[in-house]
Structure 1
Amino acid sequence: MLRIYTRLRRTLTYSLLAVAATSPMVLAQGLGNSPYSALGIGELYSPGNVTNMGMGGLGISNANPFYLNMQNPALLAQRTRFTIFEVGLLGQTKSLSQNLNGGLQSQRDFGGNLGYLALAVPANSRWNMSLSLRPYTYVDYNTRQYRTVPGTIYEAEYNYTGRGGLNKATFAHGVRITKNIYLGVEAAFVFGNITNTSDSRVLINDSDLGIQDTRVSRLNRVNYSDIVWKLGAAWRPKLSENWNLNLGATYDPQTRINGRESDIYQQTNLTGTAISATDTLRTEENGRATLPQQMHFGISLEKKNTFLVGVDVGIQQWAKYRTVTNQPGNLSDGITVATGLEYTPKPNSTRYRDLITYRAGFQYNRLPYTVEGKQINDVNGSLGISLPVGAYFVNHVTLSVVGGQRGVLTGTQIREQYVRIGLGFSLNDLWFRKQVVD
């Protein structure tokens, strides 16, 4: 018991130091500038951990006794009597490009964040529980546009900025019903705030009127807090002595979450000094945003602790998303298809190189964002590796790299080419191990 607390303390210390070292970047950017995060509740983080990240996000039907499955709560019960603590760190570099004003405009960006903190403990031989804290979405964008004011010779400048995001604190349970059937449920408290600001001014500078420095600004801020649910199920029949077929499914029901919105207009000069009284449209008014239902299905073929290959499919009904004022979010339904594999040469060997785990994966996403009538696609490939560390090699350090692209240089679409890196730590130990004295 003392050993796991010592390891937890060390890992927390190292993780907090890493987060502190990058805190300005984390607070400022999340995972970097993303114009598409202006829509809905922002960009969604992947629900899997760094281990799943290395094999295309695969995790609905597959579980490993050395790692925590955070995608399907039912598979918590597949774990052994080990307690596990996990930490994940994420970083991303990307290049954004767009055809604008007859030329190609480009920008490079970088961001990083704490991916998750998670702890799972066995309640008994059939029942496991987990606690986790992780970011759910992030909003980070800053764009500027120039357009001619209709009916005049003047041009107007428009600025749009967004910051914030939502977090999830989850409490999940997984129970083994029969030898091969598992059921699970996850309750998550979603909380956070999103701030969107916009301003505009007419660009006038002539001898008669002088320089016009009046800026009209709008600030919209929504604070969210509520509970959402996820249900999970899995069936893992044996095909032979060493091979298993794994089937899994999860269901996130459509949920309305509480929000408090403030919406303010004001006139300022270019230095930000107010030149008119604030026009408050809404002040801390209560509303409920609608999060759509999501369904995910997975199938995988597994050779015990050695080889696994599988496919996951997900459907997200984002067209049914509604804001806290019950307005459509201009989103479309999304689809996710992921395939991946995992390989450990000889899990029972005493040679270190035989215990290293390798992963590879591919993912296709039809995102909920639509530009000029065309839905944005995201295609990426991934590689991962887990290195065993510590006594008995039951702990692991995992590195995963994802490279991909979303959007294309057609019309006004924004193309994002990105490389995402994840670093994860998985610590295992026995819970309430009875000491033996000779």
Structure 2
Amino acid sequence: MLRIYRQVRQVISSSLLAVAATSPVVWAQSLGNSPYSALGIGDMYSEGNVTNMGMGGIGVSNASPFYLNLQNPALLARRSRFTVFEVGLIAQSKGLSQNINNGRQSQRNSGGNLGYLALAFPANSRWNISLGLRPYTFVNYNTQQRELVPGTNFTAEYNYKGEGGINKATVSNGVRVTKNIYVGVDASFLFGNITHSSDSRALISAEDLRVNRLSRTTYSDIVWRLGAAWRPKLSDAWTLNVGATYDPQLRINARQTDIYQTTLSGQALAAADTIRLNSNGHITLPQQARFGISLERNNTLVFGVDVGFQQWSLYRTPDNKPGNLVDGMNIAAGIEYTPKASSMRYRDLITYRAGFQYNQMPYRVNGSQITDVSGSVGLSLPLGAYLVNHVTLSIVGGQRGVLTGTQIREQYVRFALGFSLNDWWFRKQVVD
């Protein structure tokens, strides 16, 4: 137990140093400027760990005794007697392009963040518990638009900016009901705030007239997820994995503050007008269902497919208004290969991964739904005296949106680095 405590302390210290070293990027940009994060509650972070990201994000049916599964709580019960601690770090480089006035405008940006912290341990031979902390969504955009004021020769400038996000602290439980059937439940506390600001500026008679609006929403509530899995043996070598998760539709507490102010050449024309101050409301977070199926060969080869649906058209703002979103869907496929899991040769224990993901995002521009298509690769290197600890690297490359009409195209490369530390806790010491 002392050994894993020292390992956990070292990894946490290294992770915090990495975050601190990149703090201007992490806190200022999150994963980089994303105009689409202005909609709804922002861009969603991947729900899987670094291992899942290398396999296209699949994880509803497949699990491993050496890594945590953060997508289906039922599969926690597949874990062995090991206690595991995991840390994930995420960084992203992105290029944005848009056709404006018969010309293409482009920019590049980058960002990074702490992806997750998670700890799982066995309560008994059938029941495993996990504690986790991770970002859930992020908002980060800064756009500008200029156009003539109708009926005049004056130019109006509109600036839109957003930042913030929602975090998630989770307690998960997975229980093995029979030899091949598992069930589980997540209870997560969502917390965080998102700020949207906008201003309209017009230059009239050499004077700068500006109207500002600041809207800040704070979120805090509990959400649930149910999971189930079935693992029948097909033969001595092959196992079928089937899994499903369900997130029910919930109303999440949200407090709003809205402030308006008009300035002329930088001087306030009147006191700020507070329309709302910590006004209580609720957003409607729509239900989500995910299904997965995979084939597994003796901890050596795993390949599978996940499908997910979420009814974002039912999303409602804190004012109980439609969020102008559409239903989303995603399909992911992935493969994982370890040459010889029972070997003691180092090269036989290196795990390789590859995957593909197709997402129909809940955003619609000019009647066309935005899609996100990506491919991924990854590998895990065993560490430690018994080679049961791992450092994992996953790389995801993809594109969201296309250069059609006023759509914004985002081309990105995402890097994820994960640490997985395993040890036995609560062992009885035996003196020979």
TM bracket, shorter-chain basis: over 0.9
Superposition deviation, residue 164 in structure 1 = 0.3
Q: Distance in 1 between matches of 2:265 and 2:24?
A: 26
Q: Secondary structure at the match of 1:214?
A: strand
Q: Distance in 2 between matches of 1:276 and 1:54?
A: 55
Q: Distance in 2 between matches of 1:380 and 1:54?
A: 11
Aligned twin of 1:244? 239
Q: Distance in 2 between matches of 1:308 and 1:251?
A: 23
Aligned twin of 1:76? 76
TM-score by length of 1: 0.97
Aligned twin of 2:101? 101
Aligned twin of 2:163? 163
Aligned twin of 2:322? 328
Superposition deviation, residue 269 in structure 1 = 4.3
Q: Secondary structure at the match of 1:51?
A: helix
Aligned twin of 2:20? 20
Q: Distance in 2 between matches of 1:234 and 1:217?
A: 52
Output one character per residue of 1:243-271: Cα deviation in whole Å (capped at 9) or x when no partner: 10000000000010001100111012455
Superposition deviation, residue 117 in structure 1 = 0.2
**Equivalent residue in structure 1 for 2:384, among 364, 367, 390:** 390
Q: Structure 1 residues 123 and 270 mapped into 2: Cα distance closer, same or farther (>3 Å)?
A: farther
Q: Is residue 309 of structure 1 aligned with residue 308 of structure 2?
A: no
Aligned twin of 1:202? 202
Matched letter for residue 326 of structure 1: N
Output one character per residue of 1:253-308: Cα deviation in whole Å (capped at 9) or x when no partner: 0010001100111012455x533211111111000000000000000000021000
Q: Once superposed, which parts of structure 1, at least 4 consecutive aligned residues long, lie more than 4 Å away?
A: none
Q: Distance in 2 between matches of 1:17 and 1:268?
A: 42
Aligned twin of 1:59? 59
Q: Secondary structure at the match of 2:77?
A: helix
- 5+ residue gaps, structure 1: none
Q: Is residue 291 of structure 1 aligned with residue 254 of structure 2?
A: no
**Equivalent residue in structure 2 for 1:344, among 326, 338, 341:** 338
Assess if the C-alpha contact under 8 Å between 2:203 and 2:209 holds in 1: no
Q: Distance in 2 between matches of 1:375 and 1:130?
A: 36
Superposition deviation, residue 70 in structure 1 = 0.2
Map 1:159-198 to 2 at 5 A: 159-198=159-198
Q: Distance in 1 between matches of 2:335 and 2:203?
A: 56
Q: Distance in 2 between matches of 1:270 and 1:294?
A: 49
Output one character per residue of 1:152-186: Cα deviation in whole Å (capped at 9) or x when no partner: 22220000000000000000100000000000000
Q: Distance in 1 between matches of 2:50 and 2:91?
A: 11
Q: Secondary structure at the match of 1:179?
A: coil
Output one character per residue of 1:122-176: Cα deviation in whole Å (capped at 9) or x when no partner: 0000000000000000000000001221222222000000000000000010000
Identical aligned pairs, as a percentage? 71
Map 1:128-143 to 2 at 5 A: 128-143=128-143
Superposition deviation, residue 436 in structure 1 = 2.7
Q: Is residue 44 of structure 1 aligned with residue 61 of structure 2?
A: no
TM-score by length of 2: 0.99
Q: How many residues align?
A: 432
Superposition deviation, residue 435 in structure 1 = 2.4
Assess if the C-alpha contact under 8 Å between 2:207 and 2:265 holds in 1: no
Q: Distance in 2 between matches of 1:41 and 1:165?
A: 8
Q: Distance in 2 between matches of 1:268 and 1:375?
A: 38
Q: Distance in 2 between matches of 1:123 and 1:4?
A: 18
Output one character per residue of 1:316-366: Cα deviation in whole Å (capped at 9) or x when no partner: 100000011101100000000000000000111111001000000000000
Q: Distance in 1 between matches of 2:179 and 2:401?
A: 45
Q: Distance in 2 between matches of 1:287 and 1:391?
A: 53
Output one character per residue of 1:101-120: Cα deviation in whole Å (capped at 9) or x when no partner: 11100000100000000000
